[in-house]
């Protein structure tokens, strides 16, 4: 994922919050969205791993990459090979799930160095 977290400015951003128009690392997502009842209602999803700016909608399983609609389309377009690739829909989440809860929803999140680092460094897992 490539961009730095809008909140801490240190970790890679992994999730996108449309309400805040923010790209956040998992740790800051937990901090920001546990602040109050309103922020817990914000819908978030993974960031596109290609453009790093739009919410990811699809996980290309074989390529191990999460993509927004535009990047997914640009990669395949209307090609017939698109139908042969296994895709997993990426759904939004709300509240303050732990990294372990997110990893049960999205097992591939642990493929990212940021996800693995959080499992090691955070006590809220």
Report helix, strand and coil shares of the chain as percent, to nearest 5.
35, 20, 45
In this structure, of 6-15, 95-104, 116-125, the range with the lowest mean pLDDT score is 116-125
Q: Where are the alpha helices (DSSP H) in the chain?
A: 26-33, 69-76, 99-105, 113-121
- Residue 36 sits at the vertex; the CA angle it makes with 34 and 37, to the nearest 5 degrees, is 105
Give residue-wise pLDDT tens across range 2-31: 589 999 999 999 999 999 999 999 889 999
In the chain, domain spans: 15-118
Please report the pLDDT score of residue 121 as a whole number: 43
* Section 101-110 average pLDDT: 74
């Amino acid at each position: 994922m490539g961009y730095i977290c809008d909140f801490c400015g240190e970790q890679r951003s992994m999730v996108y919050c449309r309400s805040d128009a923010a790209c956040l690392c998992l740790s800051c997502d937990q901090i920001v969205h546990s602040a109050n009842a309103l922020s817990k209602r914000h819908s978030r999803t993974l960031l596109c791993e290609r453009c790093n700016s739009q919410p990811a909608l699809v996980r290309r399983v074989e390529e191990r990459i999460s993509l927004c609609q535009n990047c997914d389309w640009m990669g395949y377009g209307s090609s017939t090979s698109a139908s042969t690739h296994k895709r997993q829909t990426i759904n939004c989440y709300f509240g303050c799930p732990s990294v372990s809860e997110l990893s049960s929803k999205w097992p591939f999140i642990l493929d990212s160095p940021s996800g693995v680092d959080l499992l090691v460094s955070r006590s809220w897992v």
